[in-house]
Amino acid sequence: MTLRRRFVERDRQSHPPAYAPGYKTTVPRSPSQALVSLQTPSVSELSGPNFQKLRMGPHDNDLLLNFRDGTAPGLPVGERVIMFGRVIDQFGKPVPHTLVEMWQANAGGRYRHKKDSYLAPLDPNFGGVGRCLTDEDGWYHFRTIKPGPYPWPNGINTWRPAHIHVSVMGPAISTRLITQMYFEGDPLIPICPIVQTLNDKEAVGTMIGRLDMARSRPMDALAYRFDLVVRGELQTYFENQ
Amino acid sequence: MQQPNFTPTANLMLRETASQTAGPYVHIGLALAVAGLPERDEEIWNELAKDSASGERIEVVGRVIDGNGDLVRDALLEAWQADSRGHYQPAFDLKAPFNSFGRTATTAEGDSEWRFVTVKPGAIARPDGRTMAPHINLAIFARGVNIHLQTRLYFDDEGEANADCPVLGAIESPNRRQTLIARREDSEGGLPRYRLDIVLQGEGETVFFDF
């Protein structure tokens, strides 16, 4: 297979560096050697999985309805929100039919993970995981509860801002990205050591979900818009020789 | 609208959304069973090849090790590989005998090994006429990893192909090339097994790629 596609080079100044000592776990987990750059990426890097045949459940993108532990049937507690947006590439082109996955803590900042022992309680009606495919115009939607901030062992008194982890595949493994959506106006954002791994305020701006009153549902749910931008796809016009 | 030739270069295209660590609870979202969550009908997991897949069915295992020599017990790995004939299968379909994509994780329990069940990929021809040795692309996500690490796994019983592989050859240090070569080991009657530890930092640090 000859792919005549390529992707805009990743601007690693716009991403966090591997070694960012304010976020302590990066210290032993960051490579000390330089990355080896592949000047001519091959089909191995320029292709990737397509999940249109992955069978989804009817509530996979609806965290208000997709988990019940059976002890207290009902809805999860917390601020009902619609999280939605578009996956586009750096040239503004929509990325249709791509897999968007998300996971998060509940309204009190507690994750339904056996390793999370924070004293805030679990919610019997909240699991915290969602997935969907973008539609033909690149749009995705989730319905969920706004997550709470939570403390973590980094500094003496470090708290994560409210955030939703977001994973997107895009057209190839070259565009694969995991990030976090933060909520507009949260005062914990500028003092978070994980956000601060980024050296660039504009780059931080790419991770902020914006309150969108137009798309909120009166008497029901607020909406936050979060567009994801993946690396721009180019066609190769000239081959060598 | 700005006259294009006067637009600052930075505005000619959008910025890619910035990466953030997948954090300690990545399993909730991408490896539900590992987190202790009920699984959905279809999950993306670590069996890329069923019995019926053509090619040599193998298992690929390893650990992830940090700069202190300690196990990284909360990593998520993604594999992307060609089938036994050297062709990628982009259409992910759990009903198919083989999928090019899979996920696995290291865990808090036991020896914390990640594992894929797959087929040994075929060599891949490139447009320039050179051939890449059989390999599996791996992406590593974890707490403390701000942007995922991209590497490749090669096989130690492909010595000649490895020696000719243009990507292995692009690694300036011959010593470092060895960090990508999985070793075939005795698997006591099970599937043929290849082992590769991924070392994030320090002695024997795995080669990570930018592409």
Sort out which chain A residues have CB atoms less than 8 A from B35's CB and list them.
112-114
Interface of A with B in 144-163 (CB under 8 A): none
| pLDDT of B205 strictly over 70 | yes
pLDDT reported for residue A1: 44
Sort out which chain A residues have CB atoms less than 8 A from B13's CB and list them.
8, 90-91, 232
Decide if B127 and A39 are in contact by the 8 Å CB cutoff.
Answer: no
The token duo for B202 is 């320090």
Q: Which residues of A are catalytic?
A: 111, 150, 160, 163, 165
What is the bridge-based pairing of β-strands A222-225 and A80-89?
A: parallel
Chain segment B37-86, per-residue pLDDT in tens: 999 999 999 999 999 999 999 999 999 999 999 999 999 999 999 999 99
Quote the minimal CA–CA distance from B30 to chain A in Å. 8
Q: Considering only the beta carbons, identify the residue of A32, A90, A102 that sits closest to B13.
A: A90
pLDDT reported for residue A241: 54
Q: Do residues A101 and B30 touch, judged by C-beta distance below 8 A?
A: yes
What is the bridge-based pairing of β-strands A177-183 and A163-168?
A: antiparallel
Strand spans (E) along A13-128? 36-37, 80-89, 99-103
Quote the minimal CA–CA distance from A122 to chain B in Å. 13
Decide if A230 and B17 are in contact by the 8 Å CB cutoff.
Answer: yes
pLDDT in tens, chain A (241 residues): 455 789 999 999 999 999 999 999 999 999 999 999 999 899 999 999 999 999 999 999 999 999 999 999 999 999 999 999 999 999 999 999 999 999 999 999 999 998 889 999 999 999 999 999 999 999 999 999 999 999 999 999 999 999 999 999 999 999 999 999 999 999 999 999 999 999 999 999 999 999 999 999 999 999 999 999 999 999 876 666 5
Strand spans (E) along chain B? 57-62, 64-65, 76-81, 101-105, 114-119, 124-125, 131-132, 136-141, 149-155, 181-185, 193-195, 198-199, 209-210
Chain segment B127-180, per-residue pLDDT in tens: 788 999 999 999 999 999 999 999 999 999 999 999 999 999 999 999 999 999
ipTM of the complex: 0.96
User: Which residues, including other chains, have CB under 8 Å from residue B163's CB and lie 6 or more apart?
Assistant: none
Considering chain B, what is the average pLDDT of its residues? 95
pLDDT reported for residue A74: 95
Residue B1 pLDDT grade (very low, low, confident, very high; cuts 50, 70, 90) = low
| pLDDT of B11 strictly over 80 | no
* CA–CA gap between residue A230 and residue A87 (Å, rounded): 7
pLDDT reported for residue B119: 98
pTM of the model: 0.96
- Mutation site for B-interface testing, chosen from A8, A36, A239 by largest number of B Cβ within 10 Å: A36
